[in-house]
Amino acid sequence: MTAPKNVNALQKSETNKDPILIKPDLKGDWLNFFLLILLYTMQGMPLGLSSAVPILLQSNKNVTYRDQALFSLVGWPFSLKILWAPLVDALYIQKIGRRKSWLIPVQFLMGACFLYMSKNIDDWLPETGKPNIVKLVYVFFIAKILAATQDIAVDGWALTMLKKNNVGYASTCQSSGQTIGIMISSVMSVLFTSENFSNKYLRLTPSTGGIVSMRSLFFVWGILFMLITTLIALFKKEKDNRLEDDHVKLNIFHNYLLLWDILKLPSVRIMALILLTAKIGFAATDSVSILKLIDAGVSKDSIMVIHTAMFAIKIILPLVVAKYTSGPKPLSIYLNATPIRLLWNVTFVILIYYTPTLIKRHGVIDVPIYYYIILVFILAIHDILSNIMAVATSAFFSRICDYRFGGTYMTLLNTLTNIGGAWSFSVAIAMIDLLTFKECSLDSKNNCSTSNLQNTCTANGGDCNVLMNGYYIEVALCTIIGILWYNIFRGVLQNLQTKDYTHWLVNIKKPVKKNDKNIYSISVN
């Protein structure tokens, strides 16, 4: 590959366009701002459902942590989307629009997927009995592939839909929109379908079942997806980027080549290592804590009510911190929050250790008000810290991405982030049973390590007593690794965010011949 002859001229030109140098101003961009929030809300719907299913499974009492680890695989499409992101960037119908060419059909398919799930969800996820984990994994994996594809299109569109000086607000739209979608889908699927919650808070006269069924929820969501997508297809016009002087169109091969060239950028390689390891310190706390609270006796309805209150924080917080994350150094906020969040791991250990004692009276679960206050406080601080870090990271991505290849570039960075979370969370869940040591109260040789051994112990009138809870071991290991990570990469991150915008650009050489519109030389300095 050939480097451009006038690299300095290119860098000078791009420096003048550096959005960091222009003060953000949403005047004239408010409609685009709210449209992005709507699109990210739609994206958040399948994300919320996949986050609610583990809670429903754990409350079922017929699943193991191995089952939970299997279902956690549905989170991987967001980590694998980089495999088809170059296709989304390269293949489109110009008359429809570069991003709408993918957004419209994918959202129609998401609506169709919801309609299909509405016919089968009661069989796959029954109130009682063994859930069909394999089929749940299949269908949610497909739904997450569609959501991941929509994410590629929306992330790329956000970089051109908003004015260049406002791209820092794309992370605000993403965080707030996804949170709204997650809240709507998870709250409705857990609380509104719960008979106990509906009779206690939503009905005047007790009745069977929730106020809505899972079947009806999926059906309504499917119809809404198709209706909203139709309106966007008809009334939202996409900007024709061919009119820009630095517009670049690459074919499929060059898009994949572009992906490799982005990865060859020295700063991106360093950033990749950081993103792939950044969530190890919080893996045990983030992926297992809620499941452990349910095991300890806190009801899924109570957990979801508290989560609902937390959603208000998640929606409002990005709007509040946007003033700081849209500035030139969003990673400073990330670094300030990291040690506090690592320290907060200890509070979860203390809470879960004492939960059985605090919520039981004479062997009967009776959760006192003060326990809920403590739980809300701990979860609120955790959610505030994690959301600040997520918004800061996304804002940094929006600033460094080469908007000419927004879909591929942004997806690569988000994919690295998602892989870092997916592998660490899946490993954390899967290791819980391996690190937990049990013993049957009637037979010291029975370690209750399998369902058969547990059933044997119970059938003989014994109990499987926990000698060492793997959760505590995991939190300790993750926290130690997190502290080491912070000390190693703190200075590196501070240095990366001070680099000039041109430092992240992939240099291209436009063709001399007019007929060679799809042929470009791509090079990295």
Q: In this structure, what CATH number is given to the domain that contains residue 334?
A: 1.20.1250
Task: Give the pLDDT of residue 406.
Answer: 62
Prediction pTM value: 0.73
- Say how many domains are in the chain: 2
Do 223 and 280 lie in one domain? The reply is no
Asked whether residue 336 falls in the same domain as residue 444, the answer is: yes
Q: Residue 510: is its pLDDT beyond 60?
A: no
Mean pLDDT of 213-230: 95
Does residue 61 carry a pLDDT above 70? no
Angle of the 300-325 helix axis to the 331-359 helix axis, nearest 10: 160
Same domain, 208 and 320: no
**What mean pLDDT do residues 291-319 have?**
83
Helix (H) or strand (E) holding 435: helix 406-435
pLDDT digits (tens, 9 = 90+) for 435-452: 888 888 888 888 887 778
Confidence of residue 517 (pLDDT cuts 50, 70, 90): very low
Taking a C-beta distance cutoff of 8 angstroms, is the pair 333, 388 a contact? yes
Mean pLDDT of 366-389: 91
User: Where does the pLDDT of residue 2 fall: very low under 50, low under 70, confident under 90, or very high at 90 and above?
Assistant: very low
Whether residue 520 is contained in a domain is answered as no
DSSP string, 27-41: TTTHHHHHHHHHHHH
**338 and 483 part of one domain:** yes
Q: What is the CATH number of the domain that holds 200?
A: 1.20.1250.20
Domain presence at residue 441 = yes
Mean pLDDT in residue range 121-128: 87
Q: Is residue 6 part of a domain?
A: no
**264 lies in the same domain as 174:** no
Tell me, yes or no, whether 84 lies in a domain: yes
Residues belonging to the chain: 525
Q: Is residue 164 part of a domain?
A: yes
Return the higher-pLDDT residue of 20 and 373: 373
Question: In Å, how far from its chain's centre is CA 332?
Answer: 22
Task: Assess whether 234 and 356 both reside in one domain.
Answer: no
347 and 420 assigned to the same domain: yes
Domain presence at residue 401:
yes
Tell whether 76 is covered by a domain. yes
Query: 218 with 127, same domain?
Result: yes
pLDDT tens digits, one per residue of 320-370: 777 777 667 888 889 999 999 999 999 999 999 999 999 988 778 888 999
* pLDDT of 82: 83
**In this structure, are residues 524 and 261 in contact, taking their beta carbons and an 8 Å threshold?**
yes
Query: Which residue type occupies 209?
Result: G
Amino acid letter at 510? K
Range of the domain at 176: 28-238
Model confidence at 514: pLDDT above 60: no
Do 198 and 268 lie in one domain? The reply is no
User: Tokens in use for 381?
Assistant: 């601080």
pLDDT band at 9 (very low <50, low <70, confident <90, very high): very low
Q: Is 237 exposed, middle or buried (0-12, 13-18, 19+ CB in 10 A)?
A: exposed
Residues 198 and 329 occupy one common structural domain: no
The values of phi and psi at residue 468, to 5°, are -145, 120
pLDDT band at 110 (very low <50, low <70, confident <90, very high): very high
Q: Sign of the CA dihedral 146, 139, 286, 310?
A: positive
Kindly report, residue by residue over 135-186, the tens digit of the pLDDT. Answer: 999 999 999 999 999 998 998 888 788 887 777 788 788 888 998 999 899 9
Residues 221 and 162 in one domain: yes
The predicted structure's pLDDT at residue 490: 95
108 versus 383: which is more confidently predicted?
Answer: 108
In a domain, 59, yes or no: yes
Same domain, 300 and 204: no
* Secondary-structure breakdown of the chain: helix, strand, coil percentages, each rounded to the nearest 5: 75, 5, 25
pLDDT band at residue 373 under the 50/70/90 scheme:
very high
Report DSSP letters for 103-168, one per residue: HHHHHHHHHHHHHHHHHHHHHHS-SSS---HHHHHHHHHHHHHHHHHHHHHHHHHHHHHS-GGGGG
Note the pLDDT of residue 300: 84
Residue 505, Ramachandran bin (φ over 0: left; ψ between -120 and 50: alpha; else beta): beta
